Amino acid sequence: MKRFLLPIALLVALNGHAQRVDSLALTPPMGWNTYNTFAGNFNEELLREMVDLLVSSGMKDAGYAYVIVDDNWTGPRDSLGFLTVDAKRFPSGLKALSEYIHAKGLKLGLYSDAGYKTCGGYTASRGHEFQDALMFARLGADYLKYDWCNAEGINAVGAYTTMRDALLAAKRPMVFSMCEWGNNKPWLWGAGIGHLWRTTGDITACWDCIDDHGGKYNSYGVMQILDMQEGLRAYAGPGHWNDPDMLEVGNGTLTVSESRAHFSLWCMLAAPLIAGNDLRTMSKTTLEILTNKEAVAIDQDSLGIQGFRQTNADSLEIWYKPLKGGDWAVCFVNRGSKAATIGHDWKKNVIRDDLSKRELNCAQQRYVLRDLWKKKKVGVTSDVLESTIGSHDVLMLRLMK
């Protein structure tokens, strides 16, 4: 399909920050990535199976467009300095997989790193950015995740700008995902360079934990990652997104309610929705969470405003997200270990959002409440909302005029 692309090199000012101008990520990217489940244990046969399942399961129809081959796919450089592809993993070649992905109506994502070696110890892009970008383009890549391992002594802004320029020179439109872990506050400068930037270290599949990897680095549970997003929403918007890392829905120790809450909150954050579960063994409930089109619509809302936490009391939080057309998304989150009963008087809680210049005043405007997980109307804002929310669960509503 032919793409119509505005000049990527053009930068404009938005809220005092330079911003890329193109049409590649006007809503947060959605896709599936090899890393969370398979790490380096994948090959072309497995990936073809994942591609087929993305289509047959309905995930493609729900919006999951990118199939992202993460770390461990590169081989050594050839005599001309170009990357080679690991022939054991891809005996038919990565170009053949790319063509298979595109034939299914999906898009190819690839991975590299700003250092000399990737996090897995494979060949990375430092010093070969323009060569590698050309190869990614030749392989038909539509998305590049660019990591930050083995990057000691490198200037982050310079490294990511160099790869941005290399991608432009390759003349194939690619979403540029900057996986710098938030070390250098990429939200302050990333909008002029990439389409999304990681705000934290790696996520792990637990509700509220810190996984210490022998003192080398930490991975963080869903609630840990959520709290690290405080204060960042002003930097996100169409074409430039905060990235709190990939989804762990259906993975690890997360329960069904925790997976539902995790997904709901990433939608409220206008976060990229990059699944990372094993599609071969995915439960019906996990699929229902990932393909809830009404929840996805909150994430993909074209107004592009990241949600915010307004209330936090006794382990119960209330998050708000203004939507295009005057609707609002509201998510009640029970972080506690016991069920929570709420009695929320909409008319007594006027919400003003300075970022979007929007106000939710239910004393002046009546809204219909739609429960996005029960998928039905559950009342109006002229009445007090009474509900019980289970431990580590959510009540996610769309307030409709």
* Residues 355 and 293 occupy one common structural domain: no
Q: What is the pLDDT of residue 312?
A: 87
Q: What is the pLDDT along the chain (401 residues), one digit of tens a residue?
A: 333 333 334 444 444 445 566 899 999 999 999 999 999 999 999 999 999 999 999 999 999 999 999 999 999 999 999 999 999 999 999 999 999 999 999 999 999 999 999 999 999 999 999 999 999 999 999 999 999 999 999 999 999 999 999 999 999 999 999 999 999 999 999 999 999 999 999 999 999 999 999 998 999 999 999 999 999 999 999 999 999 999 999 999 999 999 999 999 999 999 999 999 999 999 999 999 999 999 999 999 999 999 999 988 889 999 999 999 999 999 999 999 999 999 999 999 999 999 999 999 999 999 999 999 999 999 999 999 999 999 999 999 999 99
Check if the beta carbon of residue 46 is closer than 8 Å to that of residue 38: yes
d(CA 401, CA 389): 25
6 in a structural domain: no
* Residues 256 and 324 occupy one common structural domain: no
* Residues 15 and 55 occupy one common structural domain: yes
What DSSP string runs through 292-334? -HHHHHHHT-TT-PPPEEEEEETTEEEEEEE-GGG-EEEEEEE
Check if the beta carbon of residue 273 is closer than 8 Å to that of residue 64: yes
Which of the 8 DSSP states describes residue 146? E
2 in a structural domain: no
Strands of 70-150 (E only): list them.
74-77, 83-85, 107-113, 141-147
Domain end (from 299, 327, 350):
299
Q: What is the pLDDT of residue 244?
A: 98
* Residues 246 and 349 occupy one common structural domain: no
354 Cβ partners below 8 Å, 6+ apart?
none
What DSSP string runs through 149-212? TT-TT--HHHHHHHHHHHHHHHTS--EEEE--TTTT-GGGTGGGT-SEEE-SS-B-SSSS-EEE
User: In angstroms, how far is CA 301 from the centroid of its own chain?
Assistant: 14
Q: What is the pLDDT of residue 29?
A: 98
Going from the C-alpha of 45 to that of each of 84, 248, 279, 283, 290, the distances in angstroms are 19, 23, 14, 22, 24
pLDDT digits (tens, 9 = 90+) for 334-357: 999 999 999 999 999 999 999 999
Active site residue 278: no
4 in a structural domain: no
Which listed residue (147, 299, 301, 327) is catalytic? Answer: 147
Active site residue 86: no
Q: What is the pLDDT of residue 101?
A: 98
Dihedral sign of CA atoms 22, 24, 29, 34 in order: negative
Q: What is the pLDDT of residue 6?
A: 36
5 in a structural domain: no
Which listed residue (86, 142, 202, 299) is catalytic? Answer: 202
* Residues 27 and 170 occupy one common structural domain: yes
* Residues 290 and 341 occupy one common structural domain: no
289 in a structural domain: yes
Q: What is the pLDDT of residue 19?
A: 58
b vs e for 290-316, b when ≥16 Cβ sit within 10 Å of the residue's Cβ?
bbbeebbbbbbbebbbbbbbeeeeeeb
d(CA 305, CA 264): 15
111 in a structural domain: yes
d(CA 205, CA 360): 34
Domain of residue 207, residue span: 11-299
Check if the beta carbon of residue 196 is closer than 8 Å to that of residue 162: no
Provide the number of structural domains found in the chain: 2
109 in a structural domain: yes
* Residues 145 and 114 occupy one common structural domain: yes
1 Cβ partners below 8 Å, 6+ apart?
none
* Residues 357 and 262 occupy one common structural domain: no
* Residues 202 and 313 occupy one common structural domain: no
pLDDT digits (tens, 9 = 90+) for 189-217: 999 999 999 999 999 999 999 999 999 89
* Residues 220 and 345 occupy one common structural domain: no
In terms of Cα–Cα distance, which of 129, 116, 114, 125 is closest to 169? 129
* Residues 171 and 288 occupy one common structural domain: yes
Which CATH number goes with the domain that contains 351? Answer: 2.60.40.1180
Which CATH number goes with the domain that contains 182? Answer: 3.20.20.70
Check if the beta carbon of residue 73 is closer than 8 Å to that of residue 83: no
d(CA 396, CA 269): 13
Q: Please count the other Cβ atoms lying within 10 Å of the Cβ belonging to residue 256.
A: 17
38 in a structural domain: yes
206 Cβ partners below 8 Å, 6+ apart?
221, 222, 252, 253, 254
d(CA 391, CA 334): 6
Domain end (from 299, 321, 342):
299
Q: What are phi and psi of 134, to 5 degrees?
A: -65, -40
Cβ burial of 257 (10 Å; 0-12, 13-18, 19+) is middle
Radius of gyration of the chain (CA): 21
* Residues 81 and 195 occupy one common structural domain: yes
Helix H or strand E encompassing 356: none
Tokens representing 227 are 């709290």
Domain end (from 262, 282, 299):
299
